Amino acid sequence: MFRGNVQLGQEVVLGLQCVNASGVPVRPDSAPVIDVYAPGHVVAGKKIPIMDKADATGYFQYGLFLDLKFSEGPAIVTYRYTAGAFEGFEEDTFDIVPGGHPDGSVISLSWFHRPHANFLVAQLTSGKLVKGRNPSL
């Protein structure tokens, strides 16, 4: 399945519905494992969490943040899981396109006025805090 075009600093949502040999949703023996093969970086052996244990049998989802370790180009995601004697395998793709910033976008911003200057402190999607002085339009 094609997950779309994403830029650095964005999060691509990787989801998997685990099924048995008959195609019926099933809870696997353990959390599925993903391997992401993307330009500049490989994420291997990452377990993904279950989304709604009570209502959505066997649905797992993970948000992969595309930071500075990744670069532009196509990416392939493989999912592996075991449900009894059934070995499940799925594959997704997405493209990392030009644009964006590896630290992500601003998710929180505070303004401070001091007698000598005005300051901005921002938190980015990556968790970094950045500061600015005397902002203007």
pLDDT tens for residues 7-54? 999 999 999 999 999 999 999 999 999 999 998 888 888 999 999 888
- pTM, two decimal places: 0.81
Q: Is the pLDDT of residue 136 over 80?
A: no
Cα–Cα distance, 46 to 28 (Å, whole number): 16
pLDDT of residue 137: 59
Nearest alpha carbon to residue 100 among 18, 33, 5, 23 = 5
Q: What is the rounded radius of gyration, in angstroms, for the C-alpha atoms of the chain?
A: 20
Using CA atoms of 46, 51, 104, 110 in order, give the dihedral in degrees to the nearest 10. -130
pLDDT tens for residues 98-135? 988 889 889 999 998 889 999 999 999 888 999 988 87
pLDDT of residue 43: 86
pLDDT of residue 60: 96
